[in-house]
Amino acid sequence: MDSTPTPLLVNVVDVEATCWAGSQPPGAVSEIIEIGLTVIDLEAGERLARHRILVRPVRSTVSAFCTELTGLTQDEVDQGVGFAEACRLLAGEHGAGTRPWASWGDYDRHQFTRQCQAARVPYPFGRRHTNAKAVFTEAYGLRKRPGMAQALEIAGRRLEGRHHRGEDDAWNIAGLVLHLSERGAWPAAVEHPA
């Protein structure tokens, strides 16, 4: 019998969504346009893989403000998959329903919940989610929850890639999760109702 321990894999997720400088245009809704996912092995303390899923919006378009913020263009996301297919990829190829997952804050979890309900698409994730921002804030004894870029500075880490790009942000958040794990501050994932 193989006595090799099973790795403790966690999916670290960061999404980018359509956004505007001011209020939303009439009839538009904020929709996920990029899903960044980094797989980490908590026991080995390493990032194993990084993934990017572009998602084609159907009820909004990518504004000039959104392109300036994320670097994503309407032409680029038009080449993406539909939201339902993105959720199937998360569940089928990335074990989203079985692995614990983490994000910086609860925005990503809530955005998926809202969009799945609106599109009548099965929620792709399991209930074991950890808000990495809350864990970081507590571990460092901060009064205010920092943004990801500020947390990297506090932890003495550099930002890799482009901020507000899902793939790069997931990679950086994964580094912060591993940093917290090394400090003994990473908790067991909390279950949330689907």
Rounded CA-CA distance 123/113 in Å is 7
pLDDT at 193: 58
> Residue 27 falls within a domain, yes or no?
yes
121 strand-pairing partners: none
Q: What is the pTM of this model?
A: 0.93
> Residue 1 falls within a domain, yes or no?
no
Q: Could you read off the pLDDT of 138-170 as tens digits, one per residue? A: 999 999 999 999 999 999 999 999 999 999 999
The mean pLDDT value of the chain amounts to 94
3-class DSSP state of 47: strand
Rounded CA-CA distance 181/184 in Å is 5
Q: Report the greatest alpha carbon distance in the chain.
A: 62
> Residue 2 falls within a domain, yes or no?
no
Q: Using 50, 70 and 90 to split pLDDT, how confident is the model at 119?
A: very high
The alpha carbon torsion through 94, 95, 100, 106 (nearest 10 deg) reads 60
Q: Is the pLDDT of residue 3 over 90?
A: no
Rounded CA-CA distance 181/177 in Å is 6
CATH classification at residue 27: 3.30.420.10
Neighbours of 138 (CB within 10 A): 13
Q: Is the pLDDT of residue 4 over 90?
A: no
Q: Using 50, 70 and 90 to split pLDDT, how confident is the model at 95?
A: very high
Tally of domains within the chain = 1
Domain encompassing residue 29: 9-189
> Residue 162 falls within a domain, yes or no?
yes
